[in-house]
Amino acid sequence: MLSLYDSLSRQKRPFKPVNEGQVRLYVCGMTVYDFCHLGHARMLVSFDVIQRWLRLSGFDVRYVRNITDIDDKIIRRAVQTGQKISDVTAFFIDAMHADERALNVESPDEQPRATGFVPEMLDIIKRLEERGHAYQADDADVNYAVRTFPEYGKLSGKTLDQLRAGERVAVSTAKRDPLDFVLWKSAKTDEPSESKWPSAYGLGRPGWHIECSAMSRSVLGLPLDIHGGGPDLKFPHHENEIAQTEGAFGGKLANFWMHCGPLMVDTEKMSKSLGNFKTIRQTVAAEAGTDKSAYQPNPREAEMLRFFIVRNHYRSAQNYAPDNLSDAQHSLDRLYQTLQAVPVSATQTTAIDWTQGAGAQFKQAMDDDFNTAGAIAVLFELSGQANRDKDPAVSGLLKALGGVLGLLQQVPDTYFKASTRYSKRALEANQDADSTSPAPLTDVEVEDLIAQRARAKEAKDFALADEIRTRLVAQGILLE
From residue 36, how far is each of 94, 269, 278 by CA, in Å?
11, 15, 9
Q: Which amino acid type is present at position 244?
A: Q
Q: What is the pTM of this model?
A: 0.87
Band of pLDDT at residue 165, cut at 50, 70 and 90:
very low
CB 54 within 8 A of CB 43: no
Band of pLDDT at residue 27, cut at 50, 70 and 90:
very high
Phi/psi region, residue 450 (left: phi>0; alpha: psi -120 to 50; beta: rest), is alpha
Q: What is the pLDDT of residues 56-113, one digit of tens each?
A: 999 999 999 999 999 999 999 999 999 999 999 999 999 999 999 999 999 999 999 9
Q: Is the pLDDT of residue 433 over 50?
A: no
CB 78 within 8 A of CB 192: yes
Say which residues have a Cβ less than 8 Å from residue 75's Cβ, sequence separation at least 6. Answer: 85, 191, 192, 195
Q: Is the pLDDT of residue 388 over 90?
A: yes
What's the confidence (pLDDT) of residue 275?
A: 65
Other beta carbons within 10 angstroms of residue 347's beta carbon come to 5
- Across 206-220, 236-250, 340-354, 382-396, least confident range: 340-354
Q: Is the pLDDT of residue 277 over 80?
A: no
Instruction: Determine the average pLDDT of the residues in 159-188.
Output: 78
Band of pLDDT at residue 161, cut at 50, 70 and 90:
confident
Q: What is the pLDDT of residues 300-316, one digit of tens each?
A: 999 999 999 999 999 99
**What are the DSSP E strand ranges found in 232-296?**
254-259, 263-265, 268-269
Q: What is the pLDDT of residues 33-57, one digit of tens each?
A: 999 999 999 999 999 999 999 999 9
What's the confidence (pLDDT) of residue 29?
A: 97
- Across 5-9, 86-90, 98-102, 188-192, least confident range: 188-192
Mean per-residue pLDDT over the chain, rounded: 91
Q: Is the pLDDT of residue 478 over 50?
A: yes
CB half-sphere exposure, 236, CA atoms < 13 A:
22
3-state SS assignment for residue 363: helix
Band of pLDDT at residue 347, cut at 50, 70 and 90:
confident
CA angle, residues 191, 197, 201, in degrees to nearest 5: 105
CA proximity to 336, closest of 280, 410, 401, 397: 410
Between CA 409 and CA 147 the distance in angstroms is 52
